[in-house]
Amino acid sequence: MGLAIAYQLALEGCRPVLLEADDRLGGMAASFDFAGVAIERYYHFHCLSDTAFFQLLEELNLQHLLRWKQTAMGFFLDGRLYPWGSASSVLKLRRLPLLSRVRYLLHAARCLSLSDWRHLDGIRATEWLNTWLGRQGYEVLWAKLFAYKFYQYTDSLSAAWIWSRIRRIGRSRRWLKETLGYLEGGSERWIGAIESRIRELGGEIRLSSPVHAIEHSDQGARITSPQGSEHFDAVISTVPLPLVAPMLRRGGHDPALIEAYEAQQSVACACVVLQTKQPITANFWTNVNDSRFAIPGIIEMSNLQPISPHITYVPFYMPADHPDYSRTNEAFIADSIACLKAINPELNDRDILASQCSRYRYAQPVCGTHFLDSLPPLNPIANVWIADTTVYYPEDRGISESVGFGRDLARQVAAGLQ
Ligand SMILES: Cc1cc2nc3c(=O)[nH]c(=O)nc-3n(C[C@H](O)[C@H](O)[C@H](O)COP(=O)(O)OP(=O)(O)OC[C@H]3O[C@@H](n4cnc5c(N)ncnc54)[C@H](O)[C@@H]3O)c2cc1C
């Protein structure tokens, strides 16, 4: 979002300065060198509805690198791998009564036909799914996915948020077949291209520059970073909302406002990525419901994007104060390998070529019921705008949503400055 804002501000004739705390650009979409292959720390795919992202790719002359593929889904349920994701695979899941399977499909159809989501904002996701699927259907198909991502927050999530997630994937179909996209070369391609374009247009980018404080000042705002205190005409923050609270506190702002940022909940992610000699399954996405593993699913990136050796991501989402989050990276990697071996018993230790575990503290906002009412204002202080991935609720966090929202915001801010 920060990159998209800086790019748009530069297009509007401003001279943006982007301050990034990390030693690389991209945030959740950043890449690393994984045994000689540049890949993302966290898996990314694109949906057919990602129009703001496609528009950006065109402007960066990268649209020819976008690829689409029909992908398969699976469900690893109590030690057995089932096909999943299509109407026929749901109907064939004999592990559930026929009525539950039909209810699941009716709910999926309802998610696709619904467009006004406002009444779902005040309903709990678990209650909504239980009503549609029945208790047994919910327990088998959803309960573990929620429990191993949101833990104590499971029962507070809003139905609007889960609806938008189901709809996004459900709509990414061609000829009724799930069709997902990737950018050849990964997110690094567009991040490198937008970085160059910002610089060409006169913008400045500073890495390893964490912002410590945001202060109000006449006709603008002041930012404190390792480079000292600087005045800007306008400040737009795109860091996760809870991280804004200490910046505002150091800037001497209203404690009630600071509290509103602190109150936003988010779960962390310890994301394991493994290189193996062979695929685990033929699926891109395999949901996991197995009492041996605290894992909601695995994502085999190489079954979408031709990356060799085979790449599989195993995300462990959990609140950062959960005792398991302090486990070592090696422990998460060992659990991941055990899970992959359970899914594919032919996999052995010699097939594991490399492993890595990356952590992101604010990986997934918890969007509770009446979420919009809980969000602090976008422009809480004169000349200061504060956004993160929650601002486009009920859409879930996503590259396209962050790019689209960020560019619109930059247009508004630039117009106000002229
Ligand atoms: C496991 C996982 C899987 C995902 N899968 C997908 C997917 O398949 N498709 C998709 O579209 N999206 C996916 N996403 C989400 C996507 O990566 C994000 O929505 C997108 O990158 C949003 O970026 P953002 O700029 O809004 O936020 P972020 O990426 O969180 O960026 C915030 C930036 O602020 C920086 N920062 C923090 N504190 C400071 C400070 N004090 N000063 C300066 N800078 C600071 C951070 O270093 C970071 O670079 C996934 C995310 C995760 C974690």
Looking at residue 415, its pLDDT comes to 97
Mutate which of 1, 20, 28, 243 for ligand 1? The one with the most ligand atoms within 8 Å of its CB, which is 28
Q: Which fold has domain 2-67+183-263+381-417?
A: FAD/NAD(P)-binding domain (3.50.50)
Residue closest via CA to ligand 1's atom 1 equals 42
Residues 82, 342: Cα–Cα separation, whole Å: 14
pLDDT, tens digit, for every residue of 201-223? 999 999 999 999 999 998 899 99
Residue 385 has pLDDT above 90, yes or no: yes
Strand partners, 81: 76
Residue closest via CA to ligand 1's atom 12 equals 398
Q: What is the DSSP letter of 377?
A: P
Share of the chain above pLDDT 90, in %: 97
Residues 247, 236: Cα–Cα separation, whole Å: 13
pLDDT, tens digit, for every residue of 103-151? 999 999 999 999 999 999 999 999 999 999 999 999 999 999 999 999 9
Considering the entire predicted model, what is its pTM?
0.96
Alpha carbon 319 to its chain's center: 15
The residues spanned by each domain of the chain are 2-67+183-263+381-417, 88-175, 265-365
Across 124-162, b (16+ Cβ under 10 Å) vs e yields bbbebbbebbbeebbebbbbbbbebbbbebbebbbbbbb
Residue 176 has pLDDT above 90, yes or no: no
Burial (CB count within 10 angstroms: exposed 0-12, middle 13-18, buried 19+), residue 256: exposed
Is the CB of residue 39 less than 8 Å from the CB of residue 32? yes
Closest by CA to 316, choosing from 334, 336, 290, 292, is 336
In CATH terms, the superfamily for domain 265-365 is: Protoporphyrinogen oxidase, mitochondrial; domain 2 (3.90.660.20)
pLDDT, tens digit, for every residue of 7-46? 999 999 999 999 999 999 999 999 999 988 889 999 999 9
Is the Cβ atom of 44 under 6 angstroms away from ligand 1? yes
Is the Cβ atom of 399 under 6 angstroms away from ligand 1? yes
Q: Mean pLDDT for the chain?
A: 96
Using DSSP's 3-state secondary structure scheme, residue 414 falls into helix
Residues 85, 73: Cα–Cα separation, whole Å: 5
Is the CB of residue 165 less than 8 Å from the CB of residue 54? no
pLDDT, tens digit, for every residue of 251-306? 999 999 999 999 999 999 999 999 999 999 999 999 999 999 999 999 999 999 99
Q: How far is CA 266 from CA 74, 142, 319, 382, in A?
A: 27, 20, 7, 27
